Structure 1
Amino acid sequence: MYKLGLIGQSIAQSRSPALHEMLGEELGLPVTYDLHEPADTSPEAFAQTLDSLRRQGYRGTNVTFPYKQLAVAEADSVKPSAGLIGSTNTLALAGGTAAFNTDYSGFIRGYRQRIGDRSAGRVVLIGAGGVGRAVAFALFDVGATEVQVFDLSPDSAASLAGALVAAGYRSSVVGAAELESAVREADGLVNCTPVGHYKTPGIPVAADWIGTQRWAFDAVYTPIDTEFMRRAYQVGLAIVSGFDLFIYQGMDAFEIFTERKIQAPEPIIRRFRERFDLRSALLG
C-alpha cells in the first residue's frame, strides 16, 4: 500500500486525494491519500504531524500553506529545486525525508503545454508567498528575462526579489505606485495570490490593465476559469491556468512518491476532468 498525504491548513476541499487515488488506479497501484491539518501553524505542530506520518509508514506527503518554507528544515536531503527556492511542497519519506518542489516543475510543464517554446519575457508576478516563490524561479526556466515582484507585504516582495538576484537572475520590487505601468509594459502577468478563488473573488489588477501582455497565468484553480483568466482570454492572451499547475505538480509528486513514471499524462488529465466535471470554456 502506498500511503500518501497532504499537510496544511484549510485543506478539506483539496482535490489532491482524488488525483492521487485516480493515478494509483491508472497505474494499478494501491494508493491512499489522506489530509492532515496540524493543531496550529507553528513549526512544532508541523513537525509533530510529519513525525506521525513517518511512524505510520507513509511513503510521502505534499505540503501546502502555511508550511512550505518551514518544511525544508525537516528534510534530511533537499533537492536542487527546493534548495534554490527555499520551500517544498513535496516530501518523500521512504528511506529518509527528501524535499522537492513540484510547484516549480509543474509550472514549467504547464507553461510548455500551453505556450510551447515561446519565451516568457519580462514578467510581473503578484504574490510572493510559497507558490509565488516557486513560480518566480521557474519563470527563468521558460525564458523570463526579468521578474518584477509585487506583494502587499513589501518585505515579502523584497525577500523574493533578493533571492532571485542572489541566484543570478534579474529581478526587482514593484511598488503600488508603479504597478500599473509595470503591468502594462510586461510580456507576462502572473497571479500567485488567492484573489479569484471562490472565497475571495475578483481580479488581482484592474481589468483594463490586461491586454497589452502576451500571456497570463493564474495560480487559482477553484474555479478553473477565474475572472482573471476570462479577462486574459477575452483580450487574446495565451493562458496557463491554476489547474495546469495543480495537475502537473500532482503528477510529478506522484512519480516521486511511487517511483513510477506516468507514460501518457494527457488522457489521464481528460479522464480526471470528466470524472469530476471540471469544465472550462477556456482550456478546451
Structure 2
Amino acid sequence: MGLPSEDQIISALDQTGFLLEQRVAQVFAKKGWAPSVGWPFRDKETGKSREIDVFISNGEFVGDLNLAAFFINTHIIVECKNTQNPFVVVGSKDHGPSLAIDDFCDSEFDPLVMGFEKDPYASTPGKLRFHDIPGWPQKETARGNQLLRMHQQSGTWKADNANVHDSIQYPMAKAIQSVRDEGFDYYASDRWREDDPLSPSFAFVYPIVVTAGPVFTVLVDAQGSTVSQVPWAQVVRQLDDVNLSGTFFFEIVSFTELERYIDFRIEQFLSGLYRRLSENLRFADPDWLLANLGRPHAEAFFEHWRKVVAARRAGTIT
C-alpha cells in the first residue's frame, strides 16, 4: 500500500482537528501571546486528566510595585471544533441572559471589600466601573442561552443540540472552574508571608469555542425571529450540578474572525483596564485608603498588607 503522501497526511490531520488547534495557537502567538496546546487539568468530578485545546495564562503588574500596583491575571481557554457546519446561538431580543461582574472578574485581593468606614459596600470593579470599559463581555455582543448545531440530513438542514451540552458546554464549564480554582485567596492566613508582593489582584477568564465554520444568531421577540450571521456570539448557561454550579459563559467564534475577536474583546478591554487602573493607583495604596476612607472592617489583614507595602517602599523586600 505504501506510505501516505504529504497531501494525504494533511487531509487526514485536517479531519481530526489537530491542525485547527495549531492554527488557533499561531493566531494568538502572532498577537504576542504565549499559547500552550493540549494543556492538562484535573477533572474534580472524576479525578481524571482532561485537556484544554489551547490555553494561555498571563500575569502583569499595573503601576509601580514599590509604590502602588495592581496585578492582573488573564486566562484564555480555547476549545476547537473542526466543523464547517454552522453553529446557532438562540436568545431573546427583549431580555437576554445577563452576566454579573463576578461571572467574568475574580477579585483575588480587592482592598475595597475590606469594608472601610466611609464606603463599606464598595468594590474596585464596581467603583472603577470595569463593566463600562470597551470589550467587556456584556457589551456589543449578541448572546443567548441555547447553542445548536446545523447539519444536513437527506438534503435538508436540521438543527439540534444533541451532544452540545456533553461535548461543549459542560466540559467548558469544568475547564473554567478548574482555572478559577487555581487562583488564590489572599485573605487566607497561610498566604500572609512577609515576602509576598500582596498587591490588589484581579483575574479574568476568557472561555472561547473556535469553530472552523460560520456562526449564526437567532434572536426572538413577540414579532418573530431575526437570523444573523455574526463573527462571534455569547452563550450564557446556568448550571446546578453537585460538582458544578453557577453562571458560566463562553463565546463561540468563527476561526476567520479570531484575530478580530482578540483585538476587540481581549486586547481592547485589557488596554482600557490597564489605563483605568493606572489612573486610579490610589486604590492600591493602603495609606491613601486609610486617610480617605477610614478604618477597614478587616483590620488585621489590612495592617498586614500595609506593613508589606511599607517594607517594599523601604526596599527591605522585593
Query: TM-score band, normalised by the shorter chain?
Result: under 0.3
Q: Normalized against structure 2, the TM-score is what? A: 0.25
Larger Rg over CA atoms: 2
For normalisation by structure 1, the TM-score amounts to 0.27
Greater RCO between the two (CA within 8 Å, min separation 6)? 2
Indicate the structure with greater helix content. 1
More strand by share: 2
